[in-house]
Amino acid sequence: GPQAAAYGLDYAWGEGGRDVAETARIAQLRHQASQARQCVASGGGTVLHVRPGEVLRLAQAFDEAPHGWLIIAARHQGARDQAYHNTFQAIPADRIWRPALPPKPRIHGTLPAMVVSPGDNRYRYPFLDELGRYRVRFLFDLDRWSPGGDSRPVRLAKPFAGGGFGLHLPLHAGTRV
């Protein structure tokens, strides 16, 4: 069954809901999406009714799909000089189909920015919040923001710093980072 191959840990951070019930529902949906991809079959042929959502029942039964195969993707091809042909992907029909989440966008490398403060030079020293975080303006962001509203709070990374030791030289507004 589906649980036989369900080993490992699927860790997704930051997907919690507003309450326990919503969080449990999100976890159930992610689990169903993971189970749907445990067994994916690929095939092809010339049968016209092959389309996502259809259940394909074959003369030969498979242990993995005793109730047939649920088609999740299909591609149809044909032209005047080419005979009709299709390819498809399918999962066991007794599984609940949930689409995969799109991959989270990633930025590779570093992003240049400039330290900003929320005032008109009234801060003699750098402006830090209660957790020691700065506000920065990313150089690719051409929009105008209210003073200090350019970014979310950003921590300053130092190579030799920790609880009770290290050196911190504060950055002033206008410093490029």
Picking from 170, 167, 176, 177, the residue whose alpha carbon sits closest to that of residue 127 is: 170
Q: How confident is the model at residue 140 (pLDDT cuts 50, 70, 90)?
A: confident
Q: What's the whole-number average pLDDT of the chain?
A: 85
Domain coordinates of the chain in residue numbers? 2-92, 109-160+173-177
Look up the pTM and report it: 0.58
pLDDT digits (tens, 9 = 90+) for 15-68: 777 899 998 898 889 888 888 888 999 999 999 889 999 999 988 888 899 999
Residue 122: predicted pLDDT: 64
Residue 18: predicted pLDDT: 87
Q: How confident is the model at residue 14 (pLDDT cuts 50, 70, 90)?
A: confident
Residue 9: predicted pLDDT: 74
